[in-house]
Structure 1
């Protein structure tokens, strides 16, 4: 009889597994079995069970150092959740979790206690009419440590220069994940259909591949192009890209709202409207700047919505921005004071644009946060000193299930960029210095020293996402360029979508957020433990007593309630 309850959730890039069990007699850990039911990945064997691998072993194995791996039947997982990063778009797989009993080196599977098989399908929500895309920019990771060693990359500046080179195809494709795939497909569609025009409102346009794709469209590309964050030394961050697209015959409107030495007034949008003939048909939006760092080294996301209604509303905003040029007329703010009409298909979607007046956008976000019934997951960049994301922190103090990564400046415009990993008790703030990206600073046990220098990689998490009650009756996803801040509301050109009622989309975002959260939570734990002259966890326990503190912890119980509706 099964003694384990398993939940499995996926997007088009990851599977997040959560399982529950009481303390099991003799259990040294858990093996995870996977069966590929469909996959286009070369070399994968279908309909045959295999164990996921673990990279952490027992004490006697630690001397061999990092980059070891064993099936989880040999090195079992001593935890109750795991992310499988091998899943890809259109893959179909099933999983089960099996307790392993015995002693290290002679473990056996307790089959009668195993969970039931749970299947996942890595397809886009809404049958492709509401698609979400994520990249994989894990600069602080064992994988990146191996890549930079192999290629002789010595600094983050060199890494950005390498990944900026369009000839670095494998590196760009891996780090870009499904996000770069989705963006390429958008341009491919425009290339194949001469009647298609793209209308883009962009904060930054620096990536060589993207600039070339706009140039190829010529007069069919219409771009309202801001000047990024202006500096005295660089008043137009997009000068090179601007000149190239203009020379190629693209229709370019300069929106130079950012002034050197001035905070705010950014043309911060990152949206593209697809118009077929005279009909707006779909819109791309999210947090992703079209730069090498935005696409490949910062955590970002995008959505593509197939909706003529919504696309028409974004096109109207594009036209208002084009007419305003580098001005911010009061009429623009007044028009943005309420959400656009939105659409009810493929989901209930409510678009907001800024700058606006009286912070109606922030009040809407506050309403959504306060209305959470089960929990909130989020990724946020520079939300400012007050607003809905900070209210999330207050929600945590009141006992709600909240997990997320919060990046912001402290100490004013010249202050330090920090991030807090939110989850657990107030005594567990998980502060993370992102200005010097946090990774494993020096090799220990099974962990290699990770690539973590500063330089051009000064921001790790750039997404602006709220995922509310993904397993509830009214799931909500909020995503866009908006930083959930007063400046974003009152000063910048921004947009965000409130997407309600689409459980598949919400669970895809939940999977993504937990992948990011767990990745950096471990690295922060190591850094904070070493800073306190402690010794971080570094090997599997050879005794079943490892279960007791985990199973009884309030944190673990809260996780089970949220993910398994327990």
Structure 2
């Protein structure tokens, strides 16, 4: 009988990713794997254990309430898995403690027969607020008792932490699971209009804190550093708690605040656009505070309607001696949707060279003053100056020790009015310097490229999306995994058009792009109708518009298992040409920090797997021929196989890469 021969686990501060392999192509009779999380003390003694949560039932069963069982009831029919409840509790919107030491026990299971060791199932429960008591989780269909087919295999021990010196890396939960949101919002028996948004907007709200995870505490901890000053460059600013955080430290704050958002209304039959709609309230409040708070300095940086944006979201801490000590950056906008409605990352870098690079850039931004238009008006002639552009053409490089290096890039980094040539140009566009560097590193990838992006470009062209896919197409030994938020950025996107006979063809993008070694998925629910069915009639307004950038990350990871050659890139940069030519941006590239690269890889895989699962649900619904209006009910149907044939369809490439070949 084949056995599990390798098993490895990797984690960031939120989730773990597990992979294992067997010494053959198939375990006869195997219906999947039972996985148990073991908590260990410093002496490696088990202090607690818990079977992982499972939501997908066997064929013939249904899980209409989307309550979890565990892998002793519904085993994992894959050779890799992500532990979503490592920090996020399965029965309530609360986080488990950080900095725990865990490992995983994995065993193959099959239908229980005489002579087999049975899988003992711990009952999963939830607290029913209406009945005011704890009740068991239920599902529809006849139970399928399971027994063990193999001896247990154990992963390595991992620490569930954000601390990877000199980095503290955190990730938001965002609105990934609409099913979970439906359940928690319905606990009082009804879902009110704007209930979700009100949760996300309210400081210290239990659901907001759950979805924002460790990002908000990281921001507070950053500003808790004693003495000195903070130099911030922000794009969107509308979150009440974060505005209060800036106000609390205003006496030692230098803030550059860009414009963000616009609104339209009809005036005398004409459409009038008001710019800076999103930031205007915070801007007004902070300017008033600056007049009464000694030490608080604030500068507006307005590109309103010019095609440029001040897209940075970073803060530098400078000590009392004027020495830059640390920097906070990442993809998270200072908005309630950025904190709790989207997939984002926020990272602290406690390195003087990195902090000095950001501080010097901040001073260049301050010197590059833009004319401030009248309130709400369009900015005329707004553009970054040549002095700023020239200074940003080369990176600041730093050595962090132990073979780790860091590059900090700032854009736009092409002087004058240099832009990519038009599609009709005879000569292809030369990449801007920061993108050229990313492309160069990607071409050196030996085993894997992972990415998670919002909207780098239309159709993924002139961005890391096209580069990654083209590299994967040319080298089938290269694993390429990606998640994209905006349908326009999806590989294979087709813009709306009109045929010769005048027929209008709407824009279209595939859910996935799939080859043997390439899997790219876009962030999507099954359909908008499904989300409405799950969250109520306010969903299209509240969720789809609130979380337009469902994935707001800008992350690239290369060869995370290679200690010397691993690369991780992050920041505000959308990783396409436009960000380099048009926006205030920062891009950090770290080489040789394996723990950081693996933490970001786990985040990418978490987001990717969620939306890949959504795509599989859609495929299953389509195969069953469910009508569009009934698609929401099809998703609760079980699709775990009751035979061992699932192993022949299960992809093993990623599992073998992560488990170690």
TM-score scaled by structure 1?
0.87
Tell me the alpha carbon deviations over residues 415-445 of structure 1, each in whole angstroms, 9 at most, x when there is no partner.
Answer: 97968555544997655557976966768xx
Segments of structure 2 that go 5 or more residues without pairing to the other structure are: 88-97, 113-142, 264-271, 291-295, 371-382, 415-430, 489-493, 498-505, 627-634
Judged with a 3 Å threshold, the aligned counterparts in structure 2 of structure 1 residues 418 and 164 are, in CA distance, closer, same or farther, namely farther
Whether 1:521 and 2:619 are equivalent positions in the alignment is: no
Whether 1:147 and 2:221 are equivalent positions in the alignment is: no
Aligned length: 541
Tell me the alpha carbon deviations over residues 474-521 of structure 1, each in whole angstroms, 9 at most, x when there is no partner.
Answer: 100000111112211111100110000000001101111111101111
Superposition pairs of residues 84-95 of structure 1, within 5 angstroms: 84-88=83-87, 89-95=98-104
Q: Could you tell which deviates more after superposition, 426-435 or 348-357? A: 426-435
Whether 1:109 and 2:109 are equivalent positions in the alignment is: no
1:454 to 540, 544, 563: 544
Tell me the alpha carbon deviations over residues 251-308 of structure 1, each in whole angstroms, 9 at most, x when there is no partner.
Answer: 111000232xx4x310000111011111110001111100011111111102211111
| DSSP 3-state at the match of 2:308 | coil
Q: State the shift of 1:409 in Å.
A: 6.0
Q: Are the aligned partners of 1:144 and 1:451 in contact in 2 as well (CA < 8 Å)?
A: no
| DSSP 3-state at the match of 1:118 | coil
Q: Could you tell which deviates more after superposition, 240-249 or 479-488? A: 240-249
Q: State the shift of 1:56 in Å.
A: 2.6
1:235 to 266, 271, 275: 275
Tell me the alpha carbon deviations over residues 354-386 of structure 1, each in whole angstroms, 9 at most, x when there is no partner.
Answer: 111171111111101111111111101211132
Q: Are the aligned partners of 1:11 and 1:509 in contact in 2 as well (CA < 8 Å)?
A: yes
Superposition pairs of residues 96-495 of structure 1, within 5 angstroms: 96-103=105-112, 105-112=144-151, 114-126=152-164, 128-150=165-187, 152-153=190-191, 158-166=195-203, 169-187=205-223, 189-190=224-225, 193=226, 195-231=227-263, 233-236=273-276, 237-249=278-290, 250-259=296-305, 262=306, 264-277=307-320, 278-326=322-370, 328-345=384-401, 347-357=404-414, 359-384=432-457, 385-398=461-474, 399=476, 400-408=478-486, 410=488, 421=512, 423-425=514-516, 430=521, 433=524, 453-472=543-562, 473-495=564-586
If you compute each CA radius of gyration, which structure gives the higher value, 1 or 2? 2
Q: Are the aligned partners of 1:403 and 1:423 in contact in 2 as well (CA < 8 Å)?
A: no
RMSD: 3.1
Segments of structure 1 that go 5 or more residues without pairing to the other structure are: 40-44, 551-555
| DSSP 3-state at the match of 2:548 | coil
Which residue is 1:71 aligned to?
70
Which residue is 1:31 aligned to?
34
Which residue is 1:547 aligned to?
647
Judged with a 3 Å threshold, the aligned counterparts in structure 2 of structure 1 residues 199 and 343 are, in CA distance, closer, same or farther, namely farther
| DSSP 3-state at the match of 1:363 | helix
| DSSP 3-state at the match of 1:403 | strand
* Aligned counterparts of 2:310 and 2:107: Cα–Cα separation in 1: 52
* Aligned counterparts of 1:340 and 1:210: Cα–Cα separation in 2: 29
Greater share of helix residues, 1 or 2? 1
TM-score scaled by structure 2?
0.75
* Aligned counterparts of 1:102 and 1:47: Cα–Cα separation in 2: 30
| DSSP 3-state at the match of 2:400 | coil
